[in-house]
Amino acid sequence: MGFKRIYILILVIGIIIISIYFLNQNGVGKNLSQKVLNISPRISSEEKSMRYELAKEITTPDGFINTADKSITISEFIGKKVILVDFWTYSCINCQRTTPYLNSWYEKYQDDGLVIIGIHTPEFEFEKNYNNVKVAVEKFGIKFPVVLDNDYSTWIAYKNRYWPRKYLIDIDGYIIYDHIGEGAYEETEMKIQEALQERMLVLNKGGNIEESLTKDNSVRIGHSSPETYFGSDRNDLFINGKSNITGKQNNLQIPSQINLNSLYLGGDWDIQEEFAENKSQDASIVYRYEAQSVFFVAKADSEITIEVFIDGKPLGKEMGEDIVKTFDGKTILKIKEPRLYKIIQHNQSEGHILEMKIMNPGLQAFTFTFG
């Protein structure tokens, strides 16, 4: 019995020694080194200067939101933070669909050194109003700083031409990545993670950057009609009147044949550079579209009621969130505050004729956008 016990003891000791050996060769130590190797090697400032441009500063800001009433600059974060600059404007549907991803990244990475700065460069005059922007920021749940760029000076400094557009600035102040429009959310987030990992190395900080990615919910099915403007500056698709002409156009008639992607106005209208305003009761807007979603940017000094039809009938299950169905079956859109209104939401891209009957004068129509 004593011999067997000694044999078992020797066997156990041998197993322990072999296990320790393999752990040293393939276990914890190797995993740690692999974790370090997953971080891209840091390139020198000289190499960065040949690959990338330096970030531009915010210029002549017209107001700040979510900054505790203090002004902010980009330069104050260089050497300390990773900065994501997002050019947007609040009535832009593409910007609105991007905002949830920005909110998610800010919440997830702000403690790891990410700063997001929304540069609000307005497309329309009403988007220059500080209170309008503030209301939109609150509505969209934006917690990161927003800077008003009413004179386009920061937009011009970045040579930007698009809403939305994101610029990622690393800890050394270089623009290492940018993306135009919606989409590429996983790619953008991975670039953010890489920049934050580099920041950890530079500042000799411990910890790990969360590697999970925000779920991409941006799937849309089928083709979309083009953005269509009502104002004379860009109303090339206005068919039954005089396009690109400012002034009053009265007694406009809706033809029996409605062409795809063409804007028709009925009644009396005053066409201004940014918008068209109806001057008669029972004026109308007609548009044959092909899209999954239809959005309408508009405003009014006093509330305007619009009855909305699709192919000559009240809306059904495709009603957008701003449409209300009355007790007698009508589908109604009420316009007052200057913003984007969500009219139609199909499950996929479909072709239909949209008709809007405006009950009283004073609607200022800016644009249809489609998704």
Residues 337-371 have pLDDT tens digits of: 999 999 999 999 999 999 999 999 999 999 999 99
CA angle 177/207/198 to nearest 5° reads 25
Confidence label for 40 from pLDDT (cuts 50, 70 and 90): low
Residue 210 inside a domain? The answer is no
CA dist., res. 125 & res. 285, Å (int): 22
- 263 vs 214 pLDDT, higher one: 263
Same domain, 161 and 308: no
Same domain, 181 and 277: no
Q: Counting Cβ atoms within 10 Å, is residue 305 exposed (0-12), middle (13-18) or buried (19+)?
A: middle
Residue 278 inside a domain? The answer is yes
Cβ within 8 Å of residue 197, ≥6 positions away: 39, 40, 209
Same domain, 107 and 247: no
pTM score, two decimals? 0.87
- 355 vs 36 pLDDT, higher one: 355
Same domain, 261 and 172: no
Domain count, the chain: 2
Lowest model confidence (mean pLDDT) among 43-52, 230-239, 308-317: 43-52
How would you label 292-302 residue by residue, b for 16+ Cβ within 10 Å and e otherwise? bbbbbbbbbee
Same domain, 79 and 193: yes
CA dist., res. 341 & res. 176, Å (int): 36
Same domain, 165 and 232: no
**Full residue range of the structural domain in which residue 252 is found:** 228-370
On whether the CB atoms of residues 258 and 278 are closer than 8 A, the answer is no
Residue 208 inside a domain? The answer is no
Same domain, 232 and 364: yes
Same domain, 129 and 271: no
- 140 vs 50 pLDDT, higher one: 140
Same domain, 73 and 165: yes
Per-residue pLDDT at 83: 98
pLDDT at 39 over 50: no
On whether the CB atoms of residues 192 and 102 are closer than 8 A, the answer is no
CATH code of the domain in which 233 resides:
2.60.120.260
Strands (E), 55-196: 64-65, 82-88, 114-120, 146-148, 165-169, 174-180
Per-residue pLDDT at 35: 32
Cβ within 8 Å of residue 151, ≥6 positions away: 60, 62
CATH code of the domain in which 97 resides:
3.40.30.10
Residue 13 inside a domain? The answer is no
Report percent pLDDT > 90 for the chain: 81
Per-residue pLDDT at 41: 64
On whether the CB atoms of residues 52 and 175 are closer than 8 A, the answer is yes
Per-residue pLDDT at 46: 81
Same domain, 194 and 300: no
Q: What is the largest CA-CA distance in the chain?
A: 114
Per-residue pLDDT at 33: 27
pLDDT at 196 over 60: yes
Separate counts of helices (H) and strands (E) for the chain:
7, 18
Residue 287 inside a domain? The answer is yes
Residue 9 inside a domain? The answer is no
Residue 142 inside a domain? The answer is yes
Residues 157-170: tens digit of each pLDDT: 999 999 999 999 99
Work out the mean pLDDT of the chain and round it to a whole number: 90
Same domain, 258 and 177: no
Between helix 93-109 and helix 185-202 the angle, nearest 10°, is: 30
On whether the CB atoms of residues 212 and 257 are closer than 8 A, the answer is no
Per-residue pLDDT at 93: 96
Residue 30 inside a domain? The answer is no
CA dist., res. 333 & res. 341, Å (int): 9
Same domain, 63 and 178: yes
Task: Calculate mean pLDDT across residues 271-282.
Answer: 97
Task: Calculate mean pLDDT across residues 88-112.
Answer: 97
